[in-house]
Amino acid sequence: MKTIMEFGIDTPISENNKIQHDNIYHFTQIINNISTGIWEYNVTTKEVKWSAGFYTILGYETGEIECSYDFFLEHLVYHDDRKVLLKPETAPLHIRLLTKNAGYQWFDINIKKYDNGPAYLRYGLITNIHQYKIAAIKAQQNELFFIETAKIAKVGGWMIDAYTRSPTLLKETYDIYELHNKPPLTIDEFISFFEPSYRANLVEAIDNTIRYCRSFDMELLFRSAKNNAGWLRCKGIPIINTHGECTEIRGIFQKIIGHKKQEIVLRNSLRLLEDQNKRLQNFAYIVSHNLRSYSGNLKSMVNLHGEVKESEQAEIFSHIRAISESLSETVEHLDEIVKIQVETIKEKKTVELEPVFKNIVEVLDTNIHSCNAQIEYDFSECPIIDYIPAYLESIFQNLLTNSLKYRDPVKRPVINCRTYKDGDHVYLTFQDNGLGIDLQRHGDSIFGMYKTFHENNDAKGIGLFITRNQVESLGGSIKIDSAVNIGTKFTIRLV
C-alpha cells in the first residue's frame, strides 16, 4: 500500500486504481507549479482531497484551512454561487471563492468523471479567472450600456465592406428599418429605404469614403419597411489598412424626427416671417405712395374748385368724384389685403374642390360662353383638402378670371385645372393657352400689386397679388411658367 501526493486527506489506494492515481499524481505536480489546483470529491461520502496548488491559488498555506466539503461550501463559496455548485451538471462552473488576502474572486471549476473509475468519484481543476471574468462582466455591462444608450438615442450601427459593398446591420438598425426578421441586405436594398431624392447623395458619400477615405455626416429622409417616414442622421467613417486603403465603412443611423421637425418648422416660420415682412413693406409702400397721390390730387382739385368760375366747377367736381371713387377702390383693396392676415387665424375646414370649382365656373358662365372657352378639371388625385373655403374660392376665381381676361384672340381658350400629390404636399395646377407673359422682362413683378402686362382695360393688377398673399399666408407657395403666345401655368402648393 502507498499513498498519493499531498491531498488534504491521505487515503490508501487499491491496486486496481494505482495506475490511474499515479497519473493524477504526476498531473498534480504540474498543476501545483502553475498555480492551479486539483481536487477529488466522493459524491457518496462527501470526502474531498485538495492538492497543494488548491491552497496556494486561494492564498493559503497547505493545511491552513480545513479540507472538507462543509467548510468549502459554507466558508469559501460565495452564498449566491452555492446553488450553481450544487447543480448535478458536470460542465465548467464559474463561482466566487473567498481568498485569504483578496476577498472573493472568480474561479473556474472543471468537473470530470473517471473514465474507468468508480462512479461516485469526481475530480477536476480549479483556476483563477478573476481578471478575465471582471473584464468580461465590464464588457457585458458596457455592451448593455451601449445597447440601452443606442435605444434611448435611437441609434443603429452598420458596416459596409469596401470590396464586396455588402452591408452588415446591427440589431438596432434592423429595428430602425422595421425588419424584425433581420434578413441580409444588398447595398441597393440598404439604400432603397431612403427617399429617391436622397439616394444619389448617399451613394456618392459611400463611394467617396471608399475611394478617398472621406468621412460623411448627412441628414436623409427615410421610409421604413412599414412605410413609416422620418429623418435619419447618417454618419460614416473609413476603416483604413496599413496601405492607407479603406477596407470598411462603419457608421450609425440616428433618428432625428423631433429635431428635424423643429428645424423645418423654424425654417418655414422664418420664411413665412420674411414673406410677411415683404408684404408689409409692399403694403406700406402702397399706402404711402397711392394714398399720398390721392390726397395730393384731391387737395389740388378742391383748391382749384374754389378758384375757377362757376361754369367750370362742375367739370372740376367730376374730377374730384373720379379721384374719390378710385381712392375708395384702393382702400377696399387694402382692406382685402388686411383681411388675408386676419383670416389666417380662422380654422381650416375640410373642403371638396370640385363643388367649389364648379360654383366659380357657374359664376363666370357669361364670360366663359362669350369666348367659347373650354374648361377642363381633374381633382381625382386629391379631391378633398383642409383649407379656408373663402381662400379656395378666391384662388379659383382669380386664376380663372385671369385666364379668360388674357386669352389669345385667335385661339379657342382651353383652361385646365387639376390637383396632384407629391410626398406630403398637395399641388394645384392652373394652365391655359392664352397670351402668356415674358418672364425675362416681368418675372420679378408678376405678383406685385397693380402690375399689369397687357393692354387690357379690365386689368387692375390686384388678383394675382391677393392670390399669392392668400396662398403664402397658409404656408403654401405659388410659381408661374409662361411663354408668350403659348400660355401660362400656375403651380400652387396648397399644403
- CA terminus-to-terminus distance, the chain: 100
**Are 357 and 487 in a shared domain?**
yes
CA dist., res. 222 & res. 158, Å (int) = 16
Whether 3 maps to a domain, the answer reads no
Bigger pLDDT: 254 vs 143: 254
Q: 216-267, pLDDT tens digit by residue?
A: 999 898 899 999 888 888 999 999 998 889 999 999 898 876 555 666 666 6
**Are 358 and 407 in a shared domain?**
yes
Q: 420-433, pLDDT tens digit by residue?
A: 988 888 999 999 99
Residue 204 is part of which domain span? 154-255
- Say if CB 238 and CB 246 are below 8 A apart: yes
**Are 233 and 354 in a shared domain?**
no
Indicate which CATH number applies to the domain containing 83.
Answer: 3.30.450.20
C-alpha cell at 37: 489546483
CA dist., res. 462 & res. 405, Å (int) = 13
Give the burial class of 199: count Cβ atoms within 10 A of its Cβ; 0-12 exposed, 13-18 middle, 19 or more buried.
middle
pTM: 0.40
Residue 123 confidence (pLDDT): 84
Residue 265 confidence (pLDDT): 61
Q: How far is CA 266 from the centre of its chain?
A: 17
**Are 322 and 221 in a shared domain?**
no
In the listed set 331, 357, 372, which residue is the last one of a domain according to the structure?
Answer: 331
Contacts of residue 290, defined as CB under 8 A and 6 or more positions apart, other chains included, come to 330
**Are 353 and 489 in a shared domain?**
yes
Whether 450 maps to a domain, the answer reads yes
Whether 10 maps to a domain, the answer reads no
pLDDT-derived band at 43 (thresholds 50, 70, 90) equals: confident
| Phi, psi of 64, rounded to the nearest 5 degrees | -70, -30
**Are 98 and 115 in a shared domain?**
yes
**Angle (CA) 16 112 36, round 5°:** 100
Residue 2 confidence (pLDDT): 31
**Are 122 and 50 in a shared domain?**
yes
- Say if CB 402 and CB 360 are below 8 A apart: no
Instruction: Name the domain count of the chain.
Output: 4
Residue 432 confidence (pLDDT): 92
101, 304, 376 from 463: Cα distances, Å: 93, 35, 21
**Are 213 and 314 in a shared domain?**
no
Bigger pLDDT: 10 vs 289: 289
In the listed set 211, 236, 255, which residue is the last one of a domain according to the structure?
Answer: 255
Whether 145 maps to a domain, the answer reads no
Whether 1 maps to a domain, the answer reads no
In three-state secondary structure terms, 92 is coil
In the listed set 255, 278, 305, which residue is the last one of a domain according to the structure?
Answer: 255
| Phi, psi of 148, rounded to the nearest 5 degrees | -65, -40
**Are 362 and 326 in a shared domain?**
no
CA dist., res. 456 & res. 365, Å (int) = 20
Whether 140 maps to a domain, the answer reads no
Bigger pLDDT: 299 vs 369: 369
**Residue 388 predicted with pLDDT over 90:** no
C-alpha cell at 223: 421610409
> What's the full length of the chain, in residues?
495
Contacts of residue 46, defined as CB under 8 A and 6 or more positions apart, other chains included, come to 69, 70
Whether 243 maps to a domain, the answer reads yes
**Are 281 and 170 in a shared domain?**
no
Contacts of residue 271, defined as CB under 8 A and 6 or more positions apart, other chains included, come to none
Count of CB atoms within 10 A of residue 82's CB?
A: 12
CA dist., res. 91 & res. 113, Å (int) = 11
CA dist., res. 321 & res. 231, Å (int) = 61
Whether 147 maps to a domain, the answer reads no
**Residue 89 predicted with pLDDT over 80:** no
Pick from 164, 144, 146: nearest CA to 156: 146
Residue 437 confidence (pLDDT): 81
**Residue 69 predicted with pLDDT over 50:** yes
Give me the helices (H) in 118-249, please: 130-153, 171-177, 187-192, 196-212
The 10 Å CB-count burial string (b at 16+, else e) for 224-233 is eeeeeebbbb
**Are 180 and 130 in a shared domain?**
no
* Amino acid present at 475: G
pLDDT-derived band at 324 (thresholds 50, 70, 90) equals: confident
- Say if CB 451 and CB 458 are below 8 A apart: no
What angle do the packed helices 257-307 and 310-343 form, to 10 degrees?
170
**Are 430 and 469 in a shared domain?**
yes
Pick from 241, 238, 237, 197: nearest CA to 219: 197
* DSSP secondary structure letter of residue 72: I
